[in-house]
């Protein structure tokens, strides 16, 4: 019988691509999602959907009693950095308590591996060395970042104490089809929306902020491989992988890419910088490349695929 994977947040941007990938590879998939930002239209029709909130232990108990879960891929989260600053308690209720509910069930039901969506964009703070590798000192600068790093420590604790196997994937700025404009890499979805309507692009600050953008298809591939990855180690970094391309792209460069293949030609509008935004982050992802044997989708190709997807959707609606 096919193995069963629980994907939390499976109706969301990244989660839904992971679900597609798993189903393609013959897994049975159970999606847990409360549809706070996830969408029905993202859902693979072969997935079993359990609608509910990861903060509710009784709901999760029912899910685990109904299904024999082999693996958990945990994507559900409060993902808005600014929301975490304005309401850190709310952030922790989902990102910490929700995680603990799942870890307790993973322990009780002897789940074979727990794969966690961490964030390379926030756990290191503003690093002094680039590209930053997994062992670089951590220094999250927002409650969201603290919740992601704390989650890795909880996972490590469950591994050491109860033997729960796990992998933490520290994503860069993920982009691609189905992306919501509100996430960490929302800028790409926002810009595409504006370009399709031939409206002005607003850049906050100089536009020289650098991010490591990674295509969602690559992230889904790595998650699928991670469920079979057996790791040993003595620190959270031994269980963590930076999932980025190792290439930094500025907002100005992003706009130049779009101009190259869309025909968009408007001058951008520059607005004052947004408080609390990182200046530069580039992830050293050699460890992931060696372990998963993955090569990253080049930016231009990924942007074109993303643009085409949004264009088709725009023309349909
Ligand atoms: N998008 C990025 O660039 C990025 C970067 C680093 C890390 N991450 C992490 O990747 C994961 C997926 O992010 P995404 O960009 O796909 O976001 P998303 O908002 O599209 O997906 C999150 C999903 O979780 C669901 N969800 C939220 N709260 C829930 C709750 N309490 N109970 C049940 N379901 C709940 C939402 O409805 C949604 O479907 C998150 O853990 C996020 O922190 C994303």
Tell me the CA–centroid distance for residue 9 and ligand 1, in Å: 6
Same domain, 270 and 200: yes
What pLDDT score was predicted for residue 275?
Answer: 77
Same domain, 206 and 218: no
Going along 102-238, which residue ranges are E strands? 113-119, 166-171, 173-175, 202-204, 210-211, 213-215
Same domain, 10 and 139: yes
From the CB of residue 194, how many other CB atoms can be counted at a distance below 10 Å? 16
The minimum-distance atom of ligand 1 relative to the CA of 173 is 3
Asked if pLDDT for residue 247 goes beyond 80, the answer is yes
At residue 259's C-alpha, the angle toward residues 255 and 263, to 5°, is 150
Lowest mean pLDDT among 57-66, 277-286, 302-311: 277-286
Distance CA 42, CA 45 (A): 9
| Position 79 in a domain | yes
Distance CA 104, CA 94 (A): 15
Same domain, 130 and 180: no
Distance CA 216, CA 218 (A): 5
pLDDT grade, residue 274 (50/70/90)?
confident
- What is the set of active-site residues? 144
Asked if pLDDT for residue 37 goes beyond 80, the answer is yes
Tell me the CA–centroid distance for residue 6 and ligand 1, in Å: 14
What pLDDT score was predicted for residue 295?
Answer: 95
pLDDT grade, residue 184 (50/70/90)?
low
Same domain, 118 and 71: yes
At residue 122's C-alpha, the angle toward residues 298 and 150, to 5°, is 130
pLDDT grade, residue 182 (50/70/90)?
low
What pLDDT score was predicted for residue 185?
Answer: 57
- State which residues form the domain around 198: 174-213+245-282+294-316
The total of structural domains in the chain comes to 2
What pLDDT score was predicted for residue 44?
Answer: 98
Same domain, 91 and 132: yes
Same domain, 180 and 108: no
| Position 159 in a domain | yes
**Domain CATH number, residue 218:** 3.40.50.720
Mean pLDDT of 262-283: 91
**Domain CATH number, residue 198:** 3.90.25.10
Tell me the CA–centroid distance for residue 77 and ligand 1, in Å: 4
Same domain, 251 and 139: no
Decide: 184 in ligand 1 pocket, CB within 6 A. Answer: yes
| Position 289 in a domain | no
Same domain, 167 and 222: yes
Asked if pLDDT for residue 278 goes beyond 90, the answer is no
Percent residues over pLDDT 70 in the chain: 99
What pLDDT score was predicted for residue 1?
Answer: 82
pLDDT grade, residue 291 (50/70/90)?
very high
Distance CA 59, CA 51 (A): 9
| Position 287 in a domain | no
Decide: 77 in ligand 1 pocket, CB within 6 A. Answer: yes
Same domain, 58 and 182: no
Lowest mean pLDDT among 89-103, 127-141, 262-276, 292-306: 262-276
Model pTM? 0.97
Distance CA 277, CA 115 (A): 27
Decide: 12 in ligand 1 pocket, CB within 6 A. Answer: yes
Mean pLDDT of 242-250: 97
| Position 126 in a domain | yes
Same domain, 91 and 156: yes
The minimum-distance atom of ligand 1 relative to the CA of 94 is 31
Asked if pLDDT for residue 105 goes beyond 80, the answer is yes
Asked if pLDDT for residue 183 goes beyond 60, the answer is no
Same domain, 164 and 86: yes
- Tell me the C-alpha to C-alpha distance, in Å, between residue 49 and each of 5, 34, 78, 103, 138: 12, 10, 20, 20, 36
Mean pLDDT of 187-199: 94
Mean pLDDT of 168-184: 88
Decide: 212 in ligand 1 pocket, CB within 6 A. Answer: no
Distance CA 162, CA 165 (A): 9
Instruction: Answer whether 144's CB lies under 8 Å from 91's CB.
Output: yes
| Position 265 in a domain | yes
pLDDT grade, residue 180 (50/70/90)?
confident
- Tell me the C-alpha to C-alpha distance, in Å, between residue 76 and each of 79, 80, 169: 9, 12, 14
What pLDDT score was predicted for residue 277?
Answer: 77
Query: What residues are paired with 210 via a beta bridge?
Result: 250, 280
| Position 288 in a domain | no
| Position 91 in a domain | yes
């Amino acid at each position: 019988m096919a193995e069963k994977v629980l994907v939390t947040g499976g109706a969301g941007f990244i989660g839904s691509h992971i679900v597609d990938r798993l189903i393609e590879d013959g897994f049975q998939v159970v999606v847990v999602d409360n549809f706070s930002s996830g969408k029905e239209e993202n859902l693979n029709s072969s997935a079993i959907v359990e609608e509910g909130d990861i903060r509710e232990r009784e709901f999760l108990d029912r899910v685990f009693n109904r299904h024999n879960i082999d693996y958990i891929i945990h994507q559900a989260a409060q993902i808005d950095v600014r929301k975490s600053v304005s309401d850190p308690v709310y952030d922790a209720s989902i990102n910490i308590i929700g995680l603990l509910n799942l870890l307790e069930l993973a322990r009780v039901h002897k789940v074979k591996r727990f794969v966690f969506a961490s964030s390379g964009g926030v756990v290191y703070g503003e690093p002094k060395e680039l590209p930053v590798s997994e062992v670089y000192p951590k220094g999250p600068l927002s409650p969201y970042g603290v919740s992601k790093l704390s989650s890795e420590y909880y996972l490590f604790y469950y591994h050491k104490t109860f033997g729960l196997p796990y992998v933490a994937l520290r994503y860069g700025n993920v982009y691609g089809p189905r992306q919501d404009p509100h996430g960490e890499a929302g800028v790409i979805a926002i810009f595409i929306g504006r370009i399709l309507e031939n409206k002005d692009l607003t850049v906050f600050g100089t536009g020289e902020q650098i991010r490591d953008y990674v295509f969602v298809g690559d992230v889904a591939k790595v998650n699928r491989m991670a469920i079979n990855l057996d790791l040993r180690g003595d620190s959270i970094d031994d269980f963590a992988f930076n999932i980025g391309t190792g290439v930094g792209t500025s907002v100005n460069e992003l706009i130049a890419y779009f101009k190259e293949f869309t025909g968009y030609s408007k001058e951008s509008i520059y607005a004052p910088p947004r408080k609390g935004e990182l200046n530069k982050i580039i992830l050293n992802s050699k460890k992931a490349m060696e372990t998963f044997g993955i090569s990253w989708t080049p930016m231009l190709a990924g942007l074109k695929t993303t643009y085409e997807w949004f264009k088709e959707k725009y023309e349909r609606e």
